[in-house]
């Protein structure tokens, strides 16, 4: 499953922005799967790429972020190609879909994921 559109009835945890961003990233040739979530000011996404494109991970992250900045002004945008971040966002999407996470916890989780993204391996 390349993209999971998260439909949340609670307007405060609305994931429309993340869903639009996921669709936009999936149109890129090298991107195979996308996971992501958003709060009122953060948009955090993780992509998986074709095996051949793994040599260009930093370029793909940078280009994806620039592409999204044009459409989603007002959001702090983070894009990662890291597998661990992908898994974390996958778990978060499942929690959102099952309505097992509050808006406060969503923001806290996104902050934690952004901190993980900044860590260097």
- In three state form, how does the secondary structure of the chain look? CCCCCCCCCCHHHCCHHHHHHHHHHHCCCCEEEEEEEECCCEEEEEEEECHHHHHHHHHHHHHHHHHHHHHCCCCEEEEECCHHHHHHHHHHHHHHHCCCCCHHHHHHHHHHHHHHHHCCC
- Show me where the domains of the chain are located: 11-113
Q: Considering only the top CATH level, what class is 11-113?
A: alpha beta
The pLDDT of residue 55 is 87
The pLDDT of residue 53 is 85
> And the tokens for 74?
């007002």
Regions in the chain scoring below 50 on pLDDT? none
Q: Which positions ≥6 away from 51 have C-beta within 8 Å?
A: none
CA distance 97 to 40: 17
Which residues make beta-bridge pairs with 26?
none
Residues 24/51, Cβ–Cβ less than 8 Å: no
* pTM (predicted TM-score): 0.87
The pLDDT of residue 24 is 95
Residues 117/85, Cβ–Cβ less than 8 Å: yes
């Amino acid at each position: 499953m390349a993209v999971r559109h998260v439909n949340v009835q609670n307007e405060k945890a609305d994931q429309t922005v993340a869903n639009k961003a996921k669709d936009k990233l999936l149109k890129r040739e090298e991107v195979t799967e996308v996971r992501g979530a958003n709060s009122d000011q953060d948009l955090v996404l993780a992509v998986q790429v074709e095996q051949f494109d793994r040599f260009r991970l930093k370029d793909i992250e940078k280009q994806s972020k620039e592409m999204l900045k044009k459409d989603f002004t007002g959001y702090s945008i983070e894009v990662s190609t890291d597998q661990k971040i992908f898994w974390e966002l996958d778990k978060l999407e499942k929690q959102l879909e099952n309505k097992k996470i509050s808006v406060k916890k969503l923001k806290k989780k996104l902050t934690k994921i952004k901190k993980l993204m900044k860590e260097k391996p």
